[in-house]
Amino acid sequence: MNFGELRLKEDYLKLASLRIEEKELHNAIKKAIDMLEENAFCGTQIPKRQIPAVYYEKYNVKNLWKYNLPKAWRLIYTIKHEEIEVVSIILEWLPHKEYERKFGY
């Protein structure tokens, strides 16, 4: 699985060694990664008009997807085509309230 930034991958790996809540989030993200590796399109596509500008500016995304995690967390990712391979790139995960604020819901 690819991460949009090295820091994000490091944060993901750290979750496994923290408190129970963080370990649960780590396990949920791991399960999501497994699902995305099987089918990159298993999340919900976010309409282009609702993609926050920060994703265009920071990652130059052409599409944005969300995968619902337990306890109202959201995994945000994009899909890129590299030659004949489809690659999912995790951009961030965030709690539902922050997700709603960022996406203007």
User: Mind giving me the DSSP string for 43-99?
Assistant: SEEPPGGGS-HHHHHHH--S--EEEEPGGGEEEEEEEEEETTEEEEEEEEEEEHHHH
- Cross-strand pairs, 79: 88
Contact 25, 68 (CB under 8 A): no
CATH among 3.40.30.10, 3.30.2310.20, 3.20.20.140, 3.30.70.100 for 2-103? 3.30.2310.20
State pTM to two decimals.
0.84
Q: What's the pLDDT score for residue 105?
A: 82
Q: Mean pLDDT of residues grouped by 10 in the chain (105 residues)?
A: 89 90 94 94 95 93 95 94 78 93 88
Q: What's the pLDDT score for residue 1?
A: 74
3-state class (DSSP) for residue 4: coil
3-state class (DSSP) for residue 27: helix
